[in-house]
Chains A and B, each alone.
Chain A
Amino acid sequence: MMKLVRLFGRLTLWKLVLGLLLIAGAYAAAVRFTQGLGAATNLSDAYPWGLWIGFDVLVGVGVAAGGFVIAATVHVFHMERYAAIARPALLTAFLGYLMVILAVLFDLGRPTRIWHPLVFWNPRSVMFLIGWCEMLYAIVLALEFSPLLFEKLGWTRPLRAVRKLMGPLVILGVILSVTHQSSLGSLYVIAPDKLHPLWYSGMLPVLFLVSAVAAGLAMTMFESCMSSRAFGRRLEGDLLRGLARAVVVVQAVYLVLRANDLLYRGALHYAFEATPEAVLFWGEIGLGSALPMVLLASRRVRYSNSGLFFAATLTVMGFIVHRLNVAVTGMAGWTGASYFPSVLEMTVTVSLVALGVALFGLAGRWLPVFPPAREERVPAWMIRRRPAAGGPFLTRPALFGLWVMVAVGAVGVAATGGLPALGGGRDAAEVAVAAAGGEESPRPVSADGELTLPPPWLFPAGEESPGPVRFDHRDHVDAGELGCRRCHPGLFLFTRSGAPAEGEIDADRAHDGDLCAACHDGETAFNTYDDCTLCHVDSDD
């Protein structure tokens, strides 16, 4: 018992929570590895990649970018004052990569074959490159991290050897890491039809790299704030302000690239449509990139610990939303199906984060991660106005801001209807649309490259009806033969929403009268009485 106390320190509420999460994670792992992906996850043929790829891998690798950026700052560009935060940043990156490897083991259908890309090569595959980067950079990170262990153990000879190699090692790490970060974006370059145009771009590798640099820097700021609280250390205010300025520049570059790309591809208009995609796009760009950039550009925010913490948190959250948008939201239109991670998937994700935090805590306790206190560079004007740049970061304004963010996020997600698993009570019509939507896109689709069509519409089933009627413009339009004028406005009014005008259609007029039956007469198109299931979607389906 005494030994345990010595190793972990006193039991606190946070440690208890971490411990419980790890136990839950162990249970989830047992289910996943004994019963398979189908039993453990909500993944499906329509959604082969879900939370584990979207969050654990894409976000996990991204926030580890702080490691290579800070290492390069210190060891390649010789800005040595940043050495004070280099080791914690390195530790974050190293643990991040270990957690990503664990997550990949969870996600692979045959995890025991994770070594296959080392032996069976396909250099045409982005995934092949990613596998190699992941492995090589994890090794480089371990080597970059090894001095901490050697110092602790007092092994001077290997310590000197690694120190001598540090420059080239870090350069190798930068190249591997840049390749890895950008390749995660390249993964999706082969899916131009599937990924929503707000996110698909030939520039994805560049966008992934730039956003990962911003998120990695922000993660280093976030982690510094957290460590200062956990280990009772003073915040490295001057260094964090330096990082904050870098985040402003990188976010500005990112936003310009993003805007340029959307304009160039003519996809900007999708951001101004009333779709769930547009809401999540603005959440990501507005609250996750532009707002923290503006905040950090202000000197007042940079010189406030809670301001730094709040803006860094926003940046990381915006980054998470971007990666989930690419992995999940952006695919929804093409697959037509919905995905929300299972409780077990979320348990694995949360417990992997908890494992990372726990290992960080242990390393922070037992290895020389944090350098001895140093003199902080404080500008003269600040010394005159305020005695010290210290103080807590989790102040009331920061907490209030975070709660507002969470509330806005929750409302946003609820408004997009992206939470079917939590909502539970979707009405039958929606379910039928989702079911009937099998392989169709609810997003407007160009029939001939120019025409934008409204999404499929479901008419509720009336009395004695065999089921709701699903109407899809795409079945009724093609370039040349069937234009808009065939039906509009003679048979049906144009409406803004794409749904029929109130009371315009009833069963008699559809089957026998002057509406559907105008063409569905057995000659122009099949007769309205030929086969009910051609129009009436089986509501059990």
Chain B
Amino acid sequence: MTRGLLIDLARCRGCGSCVTACREINRLPLDAPAERLDARTWTFLDHRAGLTVKRQCMHCLDPACASVCPVGAMHRSPDGPVVYDETLCMGCRYCMIACPFGVPRYEWDSREPRVRKCILCWEQRVRNGEKPACAAVCPAGAIAFGERQDLVDRARQRLRERPDDYVDHIYGLREAGGTSVLYLSPVPFAALGFPRVQEDRRYPGMTWAILEKMPAGWTVSGALLVGLWWLTGRREVMARVERGELSVDEAMQLAPPLAGGAGREEE
């Protein structure tokens, strides 16, 4: 039940309806320049190599931003969109460091700042069974909304039927272990400024590989340290008893668990 977008850059005519629709539905200022993602621009058209490239959150299948959020403010809804609970966020901005696509933006000028990014119209539309605003308004049919698997099939069909019109790559199929937003392009994605990210590799797994070893590490190091503490302490007490600085009784008083061994050997 993962739903997402298929954005076909060969079909995009660069009209900008999606940008305006996004701003309307999310109540963002309509007149701000749309040249880069920022707190008030969740999607914009990037002019590259003669094409217009719709930029937005990729909605990863296993999003780095959600895995790193210490309070779970950023999370993936069961339907696919990666959404944000502003009442939980404490503003550590780790999501911005972790996102391999560099998407989340911050309200730097606010005194109660929030992280801002496309939420695939989850709250306003997708939750109610409607298409995201950008997909609903696109006059060129460049933004398709649906089940991710259907979108992948559709993308493959286009690549098969019109191989000359596209580079043979569905961006988002394998990037960062797969994203809900997929792109087709007539030009290599590297030339369009799409970031090079790890393929077939889910980012949260990188830190989880470390975190999952922690409990074992704590147990082993705890046992080791307690052992060393007991051993060196016992040796110290025994040395003092031997030097005649302590009587056995005093040693027992000082540290019963240590002196157990010391006492026996004295006897």
Contact = CB atoms under 8 A, between A and B. Distances in A.
Interface of A: 34-39, 43-45, 48-49, 72, 75-78, 80, 107-111, 113-114, 116-117, 120-131, 167-168, 171, 174-175, 178-179, 186-194, 202, 205, 334-335, 438-440, 445-447, 474-478, 481, 525-526, 530-531, 533-534
Nearest to B204: A124
B91 interface: yes
A124 B96 CA distance: 17
Contacts of B190: 447, 474, 477-478
Contacts of A76: 225, 228-229, 232
A125 B90 CA distance: 14
Contacts of A335: 102
A191 B50 contact: no
Q: Which one of A39, A44, A76, A130 has the greatest number of beta carbons of chain B within 10 Å? A: A76
Given A110-B91, A187-B97, A126 B207 contact: yes
B94 A189 contact: no
Contact of B89 (A80, A110, A124, A445): A110
B127 interface: no
A126 B225 contact: no
Contacts of A117: 70-71, 90
Given A120-B71, A126-B210, A179-B214, 13 more contacts: A36-B113, A111-B90, A117-B90, A120-B73, A122-B67, A124-B67, A179-B217, A187-B94, A187-B97, A189-B207, A193-B100, A439-B193, A525-B49
A78 B111 contact: no
B156 interface: no
Contacts of B88: 116, 120
Contacts of A533: 47
B33 to A, nearest CB: 11
Contact of A194 (B48, B92, B97): B97
Nearest to A449: B196
B72 A45 contact: no
6 contacts: A39-B109, A45-B105, A168-B226, A190-B203, A438-B36, A478-B190
Interface string B49-69: 110000000000000100111
Nearest to A121: B72
Contacts of A476: 191
A108 B115 CA distance: 12
Interface of B: 36-39, 47-50, 64, 67-73, 88-94, 96-98, 100, 102, 105-106, 108-114, 167, 188, 190-191, 193, 195-198, 203-204, 206-208, 210-211, 214, 217-218, 221-222, 225-226, 228-229, 232-233, 235-236
Q: Which one of A80, A113, A179, A334 has the greatest number of beta carbons of chain B within 10 Å? A: A113
Nearest to B48: A475
A140 B70 CA distance: 22
B14 to A, nearest CB: 12
Contacts of B108: 36-38, 43-45
B113 A37 contact: yes
Contacts of B38: 45
A500 B214 CA distance: 52
A263 B63 CA distance: 31
A131 B90 CA distance: 12
Nearest to A79: B232
Contacts of A205: 210
A171 B225 CA distance: 6
Contacts of B225: 72, 76, 171, 174-175
A48 B106 contact: yes
A35 B113 CA distance: 11
Given A122-B69, A192-B206, A530-B50, A113 B90 contact: yes
